[in-house]
Chain A
Amino acid sequence: AQSVTQLDSQVPVFEEAPVELRCNYSSSVSVYLFWYVQYPNQGLQLLLKYLSGSTLVKGINGFEAEFNKSQTSFHLRKPSVHISDTAEYFCAVTPYSSASKIIFGSGTRLSIRP
């Protein structure tokens, strides 16, 4: 079985400051890893994903994440945030199968202060 832990339920950050949203996972098998963003009353949009290869993954909107197998982490980072980045962010995993269900973390609310 897999599980995902997002330690921070809320992260307040000033505009143009860097941010890191933490994600740790647990799994007895190899997994694919994802970060999704959800704006109010909307569905989820894929920010980035790690399937294999380079452990540093770059996504949309200037976000990147680094897969660390030894620490079972997949933290999301952005060097300079904007007001428009205010949203809910979900880390997710799925085992190596094209149609396995995704396991989501509890989410981190990123709020940007001007």
Chain B
Amino acid sequence: GAVVSQHPSRVICKSGTSVKIECRSLDFQATTMFWYRQFPKQSLMLMATSNEGSKATYEQGVEKDKFLINHASLTLSTLTVTSAHPEDSSFYICSASGQGGTNYGYTFGSGTRLTVV
């Protein structure tokens, strides 16, 4: 079945540094990838949608210069949190959709717990 690998699963970084999170589709071509943020005991908030080879489309209120998304290939998308601050600490989840993926469903990565100290 469709598998999405997300790394790292946990990361702790110092305030002011940047962190990159990778999302890979292992057995299908992900034409579209989505990045979500989840606060404790809350639902998933869509941050941005990226199509392979195009600029990401960010949701209202999400700073595109702070959350850099790259979708350079059909199997890899990255989210870079630049100049991270404690308020960026959260659970980040990617999902992928594309030919060979869950038909009209979305395969999710296992998430990345980011802690900024």
| In the assembled complex, A83 has its CB within 8 A of some CB on chain B | no
Cβ–Cβ < 8 Å partners of B93 in chain A: 43-44
| In the assembled complex, A1 has its CB within 8 A of some CB on chain B | no
Known contacts A90-B44, A99-B31, A101-B34: A44-B108 contact under CB 8 Å: yes
Known contacts A32-B104, A51-B104: A107-B97 contact under CB 8 Å: no
- Among A34, A46, A94, A104, contact of B43 (Cβ-Cβ < 8 Å): A104
- Give residues 21-63 of A contacting B (CB, 8 Å): 32, 34, 36, 41-46, 49, 51
* A: number of interface residues (CB 8 Å): 22
Known contacts A105-B43, A106-B42, A106-B43: A46-B97 contact under CB 8 Å: no
A interface residues with partner B (beta carbon < 8 Å): 32, 34, 36, 41-46, 49, 51, 90, 94, 98-99, 101-102, 104-107, 109
B interface residues with partner A (beta carbon < 8 Å): 4, 6, 31-32, 34, 41-44, 46, 49, 51, 91, 93, 95, 97-98, 102-111, 113
Known contacts A42-B110, A51-B104, A106-B43; 12 further A-B pairs (Cβ under 8 A):
A32-B104, A36-B108, A42-B111, A43-B111, A45-B108, A46-B102, A49-B104, A49-B105, A101-B46, A102-B46, A105-B43, A109-B41
What are 27 A-B contacts defined by CB distance under 8 Å? A32-B104, A34-B105, A41-B91, A41-B113, A42-B110, A42-B111, A43-B93, A43-B110, A43-B111, A44-B95, A45-B108, A46-B105, A49-B102, A49-B104, A51-B104, A90-B43, A94-B104, A98-B104, A99-B31, A101-B49, A102-B34, A102-B46, A102-B106, A105-B43, A106-B42, A107-B42, A109-B41
